[in-house]
Amino acid sequence: SQQGEEDPQALSIQEGENATMNCSYKTSINNLQWYRQNSGRGLVHLILIRSNEREKHSGRLRVTLDTSKKSSSLLITASRAADTASYFCAGEEYGNKLVFGAGTILRVKS
Amino acid sequence: SQTIHQWPATLVQPVGSPLSLECTVEGTSNPNLYWYRQAAGRGLQLLFYSVGIGQISSEVPQNLSASRPQDRQFILSSKKLLLSDSGFYLCAFTPREETQYFGPGTRLLVL
């Protein structure tokens, strides 16, 4: 079963703009993680936010977590063409099991 | 440093043939290991996970099985492939921390 549901499913922006992706999940989680996947490649871990955290930053990435609404958002500031990829949220359940959403396809046009 | 290897990168197999995909991890001991499948344009579905040698948990009923003969080796198998087994298979591990690290994946096409 899928834990996270991302929206939008696809996002197209101009280079330099900010990109915001949202994720909702269904059950209790230990943490929520965001991953990036370039076409046909493996996943790369971007950032992890624990259930007792509300906001976290890493470079141009900003992640928020609202456990009361069971939702998270990923903001990429000052986007670049190289940010073009699919982005997935994943909630970590018991036993380090990750349950992934369907992902957001981000296209950054130069 | 910790690394994860998967092979082959691409595989084309006829329906009814067997399957064996291998994943190995270096630079860590006693990791949790995972097999995921990703259908085209979709998120990842957890198939199996293992917390130790010989310990396999299956998440969804299917035509596949997994084995962990050694601490850092995880194998995904099938005795007879179905068309619906086509997809992108990803192996991952956690070195007793929260972050999962993914291999490069194997693209399987069953014809």
3-state per-residue secondary structure call for A75-107? EECCCCHHHCEEEEEEEEEHHHEEEECCCEEEE
DSSP string, B31-50: -EEEEEEE-TTS-EEEEEEE
Question: Across-strand partners of B65?
Answer: B77
Is residue B2 scored above 80 in pLDDT? yes
Exposed, middle or buried, A107 (CB in 10 Å: 0-12/13-18/19+)? middle
Give the DSSP H/E element, type plus range, for residue A32. strand A31-37
Distance CA A97, CA A90 (A): 9
Q: Domains in chain B, start-ordered, CATH in brackets?
A: 3-110 (2.60.40.10)
Average pLDDT for B71-89? 95
* pLDDT reported for residue B60: 79
* pLDDT reported for residue A12: 96
Is residue A8 scored above 90 in pLDDT? no
Residue of A nearest to B38 (CA): A102
CATH of domain A5-109: 2.60.40.10
Helix (H/G/I), strand (E/B), else coil: A4 = coil
CA quadruple B55, A49, B97, B22: dihedral sign = positive
Q: Cβ–Cβ of A41/B104 closer than 8 Å?
A: yes
| Range with lowest mean pLDDT among A46-55, B56-65, B84-93 | B56-65
* pLDDT reported for residue A1: 40
Task: Please indicate whether residue B101 or residue B62 has the higher confidence score (pLDDT).
Answer: B101
* pLDDT reported for residue B96: 66
Helices (H) and strands (E) in chain A, counts: 0, 11
Q: Which candidate from B45, B49, B107 shows the least CB-CB separation from A95?
A: B49
* pLDDT reported for residue B97: 65
Is residue A94 scored above 80 in pLDDT? no
Instruction: Tell me if chain A has a CB within 8 Å of the CB of B61.
Output: no
Task: Please indicate whether residue A90 or residue A2 has the higher confidence score (pLDDT).
Answer: A90
Min Cα separation B78/chain A (Å): 22
Distance CA A50, CA A33 (A): 9
Task: Please indicate whether residue A101 or residue B77 has the higher confidence score (pLDDT).
Answer: B77
* Ramachandran assignment for B65, one of left (phi > 0), alpha (psi -120 to 50 degrees), beta (any other): beta
Is residue A29 scored above 60 in pLDDT? yes
* pLDDT reported for residue A39: 85
Query: Model confidence at B37, in pLDDT bands (50, 70, 90)?
Result: very high
Question: Across-strand partners of B52?
Answer: B55
Query: Model confidence at A3, in pLDDT bands (50, 70, 90)?
Result: low
